[in-house]
Amino acid sequence: QKQREAIHNQYAAEIEAADSSTNQASTDALILDKEAALLEASYAGILGKTIEPVMEPLGMDWRMSIAVITSFAAREVFVGSMSTIYAIDSENAGIGALQDKLAKETNPKTGKPLLNRANSVAILLFFVFAMQCMSTMAIMRRETGGWIWPILQFIVFGGIAYLSGFAAYYILS
């Protein structure tokens, strides 16, 4: 809570100063930066940073880790989560704006582009094999009458997904 208040206070003066000028783009950029800082301080940001060491061997940072977690609801949620996480504003909403933003991002740990061929293939392979759908697991639980098969399926397919993404990332990088 204190961290969120500090973020609000930090950006309040800057946004007010930008509002008084005629540069609306500057104000919009500051608001998006503030939202990104608030995300990092949120529970989702904390969770993403917690699992980042697990996802890092696939070339993913904490923000991509959040998108992977949210995609357990449905795979297609990944893109929407990435748009939210990378602060794509509603005027420029769409896959093109997300592609442009990701093309400009760099990994602070490596200095390399955040999205590159190696981690793109790793992400694709991860999603090809991962059991990323809660509704599928719920149906399997209902059909089998227990949790053993859904949990086993989640672990086995998750392991295959992780290992294939890991191999692709290290072969291509």
**126 in the same domain as 92:** no
pLDDT at 2: 74
Q: At what angle do helices 95-104 and 77-85 cross, to 10 degrees?
A: 60
* Ranges of the chain with pLDDT below 50: none
Shared domain check, 79 and 108: yes
Q: Is the pTM of this model over 0.95?
A: no
Encode pLDDT of 100-116 as tens digits.
888 888 887 778 888 88
DSSP assignments along 10-51, one per residue: HHHHHHHHHHHSS-HHHHHHHHHHHHHHHHHHSHHHHHHHHH
Task: Please tell me the predicted confidence (pLDDT) of residue 146.
Answer: 95
pLDDT for 90: 60
Number of domains composing the chain: 3
Residue 48 domain-assigned (yes or no): no
- Please name every residue paired with 106 in a beta bridge, in sequence order, or none if there are none: 113
| Domain match, 122 and 173 both | yes
In angstroms, rounded to a whole number, what is the distance separating the alpha carbons of residues 27 and 15? 6
Rounded Cα distance between 130 and 106, Å, is 26
27 part of a folded domain: yes
Q: 104 and 76 share a domain?
A: yes
What was the pLDDT predicted at 38? 74
The reported pLDDT for the residue numbered 14 is: 66
Indicate if 142 and 122 belong to the same structural domain. Answer: yes
Q: Which domain holds residue 144?
A: 116-173
Within a domain: 69: yes
